[in-house]
Structure formats: C-alpha cells, structure tokens
Amino acid sequence: QVQLVESGGATVQAGGSLRLSCAASGDFATINTMAWYRQSPGKQRDLVAKISGIGSKYYSDSAKGRFTISRDDSKNTVDLQMNMLKPEDTGTYYCYIEARKFTQETMTWGSSPHWGQGTQVTVSS
C-alpha cells in the first residue's frame, strides 16, 4: 500500500535542464534509500543516483557533475535535478524507495522496495 508518483519528464534540447520529482504516500513509517533509475529499450534498468536515509549520495559516472539528487523527509519526496543534458540521458526514469514499517501483528520492523511507474525524458540534439 505504497504509491510513488513521478513528474517532470519532458523533451528538451541538449544542454537544457529538467527536474524530476517523486512523491511517496501510503502505509509506511519512514523511508531509507531513495533513488532514480533509467531504462532504455533493450537495456537493463541502471542506477543513476541514490540518497540514503542519512543523506549520503551516490551518482553513476555519467551523472557526476551534472545531476543532483535531494530528498525532503517532511514531504516524502525525492528530486533529481538534471543539468547539461545529453542525448544519451534519454530514457524512462523510475523512482525507487525502500520503505520501513512496523507490523503490529508480528511486532517487527521491516523494509520493502517500491517502484514508480516511470517518467519519460528525451534529449534531442
């Protein structure tokens, strides 16, 4: 019962910028990992950027220096600011989170993965 809603995908020219946003809602207490993945036809889904629950960030080699991931725990959102876009950045971008929830029936905490539906980013030359 966790939903992720992505927004911000569009078609832009090379050198332009986009800001992707993902809002999480549903039955959970907190969110640990938040990340953005990219997938193109015929390719696997690859990690673009990730941010941990304490704010540690990771970027793929292609994203370093151009993309910035951020989170707002008060709003349960994660954003990806993409600057100096290149045609090779084209793909479907998916939001990913690991949500934590306490299950009273079993008196345990657990973590579960969740994916958004994806938002299309197209960079033209």
Tokens of 2: 């966790």
Report, as an integer, the average pLDDT of 34-50: 95
Residue 41 reports pLDDT greater than 90: no
Give the tokens for residue 27.
């039955």
* Mean pLDDT score across all residues of the chain: 96
Q: Supply φ then ψ for residue 30, to 5 degrees.
A: -140, 170
Left if phi > 0, otherwise alpha if psi is -120 to 50, otherwise beta: which for 74?
alpha
The pLDDT tens digits for 21-34 are 999 999 999 999 99
Given this model, what pLDDT does residue 30 score?
A: 93
Instruction: Tell me the average pLDDT across 36-55.
Output: 95
Asked if 25 contacts 77 with a C-beta cutoff of 8 angstroms, the reply is no
- pLDDT at site 42: 86
| Res 75: pLDDT | 96
